[in-house]
Each structure stands twice: as C-alpha cells, then as structure tokens.
C-alpha cells in the first residue's frame, strides 16, 4: 500500500510521442467502429450522467439517483426547483461533461500524474456507484471500475500511463461524436426530451443553438487536450 501511495503522489516520466499517438489511434477506432462503439459508448454515458449528478450537488439540488440503460441512454434525477439557474446548470453539464473530464485528465497527464488519474477515476466511480438505481447501471459501473482497478493495481508503470492516455483520448474524442448523435436524433424526430430541448423550454433559446454550444465546448476541449498531450506546441 505504501508503494501504491507513493506512485499516486509521485509524477511519472513522460511517455513518448509514439505512445500518445498510438493510444489516440486506438481510442479513435473504439469510437469510429460502430459495432464496438455500441459498447464503449457506455463510458460516455457514465461521464455524461456523472456530470449531471456532480453539478446537481454543486448547485444545491438533492440527487435522487442515476440510471444507465443498455441502449447507452441514461437519466439523472435530482430534486429541487424545476426551473431557474440551478436546473439550467444541471442540463448544461451533460454533453460537455465527458470532454471537460477528458480535459482535466489531459492536464493531469501533462504533469505526469497518470497513476493519480486512474485512482482518482476509481474513487469517482465508487461514489457514482452509490447513486446508481438500476441493475444494468450497477453492472456497467462495476465492470468499468474493475478494468480501471486491475490496471491501477497490477499494471506496470508503462501500462498504467498508456491506459490513462487511452481513457483521456477516448473522452476527448467521443464527446463531439455524442453531440453529433444528439443532433442526428433530433433531426430524425427523436430526442425531444434531450438536454438541448429541455434547455429550450427553460430558456426560450432554440435547441439547435444549445447543440451548437455543446459542440463548441467539446471541440475546444479536444483542441486544448491535443496541445497538452505534447503533440502540438503550447
């Protein structure tokens, strides 16, 4: 345990550009290949609903539970005023959430804290697990947490760093795709209860503008994450 704690609190040597590029390519394949994306997208849903829940607590709402579904959709229920800045903030958090988490992870990696990143993620998953209210959601978080724990506990330093980069790339790259899927669903007549449409009802601002705002934030996080990764000069 003392060795684990030392690894968490110590910065690891920077990985090579080859590792950064390779993990980015793997992450892109996990997102672009549709048969795999059906399963890996659940990680995005976990981050999406986790962002809703985190902001709900920050703005003073009472978190009533989170559900994750097999179609990679999810719902976060919080109690409080159904309108107002607090509810708007909660709705705003979902789609940018994975990108912002990815950006925070990129910052940690730029400082060499790959192991701390993995253990921090594991702690966040344990906290999230306490709010899950359905069996599939429970299984999803436990399965993802088991993978993170296995790498954190048994993986070599090089494996831990590579896995941390893979997760970071995945969050940064998958967030814009989720926004595109949101708009595609809306154009097809679905998604009328989406975050963007709920924001339209609360604010009067067209849902398309909210979708655009989600897209701008996720792309900005991706661009900054690429700079912090060391692929481009800062």
* Gap between the Cα atoms of 52 and 68, Å rounded: 13
Q: What is the DSSP string of 176-207?
A: HHHHHHHHHHHHTT--TTSHHHHHHHHH---H
Residue 166 inside a domain? The answer is yes
Q: Which residue has the tokens 């060499």?
A: 112
pLDDT one-digit tens code per residue, 167-224: 999 999 999 999 999 999 988 776 678 999 999 999 999 999 999 999 999 999 999 9
- Picking from 55, 61, 95, the residue whose alpha carbon sits closest to that of residue 196 is 95
Q: Which pair of structure tokens corresponds to residue 99?
A: 């990108």
Cβ neighbors of 110 (< 8 A, separation 6 or more) are 228, 229, 230
Quote the CA–CA distance of 29 and 27 in Å, as a whole number: 5
Whether residue 89 is contained in a domain is answered as yes
On the CB side of 155, CA atoms within 13 Å amount to 20
Note the pLDDT of residue 10: 84
Neighbours of 115 (CB within 10 A): 24
pLDDT, residue 191, reads 65
13 secondary structure, DSSP code: P
What range does the domain containing 26 cover?
2-229
The verdict on residue 234 lying in a domain is no
- Rounded distance between C-alpha atoms, residue 95 and residue 52, angstroms: 9
Note whether residue 29 is domain-resident: yes
Assess if residue 219 is contained within a domain.
yes
Is 218 within 8 Å of 179 (Cβ atoms)?
yes
Rounded to 5 degrees, φ, ψ at 132 are: -75, 135
Q: Hunting for tokens 């005023």 — which residue is that?
A: 81
Please check whether residue 121 lies inside any domain of the structure: yes
> What phi and psi values does residue 62 have, to the nearest 5 degrees?
-95, 120
What is the reported pLDDT for 231? 62
The full length of the chain comes to: 234
- What pLDDT score was predicted for residue 22? 95
Residue ranges of the chain with per-residue pLDDT less than 70? 190-191, 230-234
Please report the pLDDT score of residue 232 as a whole number. Answer: 61
CA distance 150 to 168: 17
- Residue 11 within any structural domain of the chain: yes
80 domain-assigned: yes
Domain count, the chain: 1
């Amino acid at each position: 345990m003392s060795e684990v704690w030392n690894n968490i609190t110590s910065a690891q040597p920077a990985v090579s550009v080859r590792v950064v590029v390779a993990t980015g390519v793997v992450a892109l394949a996990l997102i672009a290949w549709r048969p795999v994306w059906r399963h890996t997208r659940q990680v995005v849903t976990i981050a999406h609903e986790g962002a809703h829940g985190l902001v709900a607590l920050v703005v003073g709402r009472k978190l009533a539970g989170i559900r994750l579904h097999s179609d990679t959709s999810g719902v976060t229920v919080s109690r409080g005023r159904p309108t107002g800045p607090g509810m708007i903030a909660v709705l705003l958090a979902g789609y940018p959430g994975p990108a912002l988490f990815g950006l925070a992870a990129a910052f940690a990696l730029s400082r060499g804290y790959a192991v701390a990143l993995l253990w921090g993620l594991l702690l966040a998953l344990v906290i999230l697990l306490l709010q899950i209210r359905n069996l599939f959601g429970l299984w999803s978080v436990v399965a993802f947490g088991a993978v993170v724990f296995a790498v954190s506990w048994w993986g070599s330093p090089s494996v831990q760093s590579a896995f941390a980069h893979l997760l970071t790339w995945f969050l940064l790259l998958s967030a814009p795709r989720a926004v595109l899927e949101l708009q595609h669903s809306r154009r097809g007549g679905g998604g009328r209860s989406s975050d963007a449409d709920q924001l339209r009802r609360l604010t009067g601002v067209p849902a398309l503008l909210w979708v655009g705002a989600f897209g701008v934030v996720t792309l900005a996080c991706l661009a900054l994450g690429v700079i912090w990764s060391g692929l481009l000069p800062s």
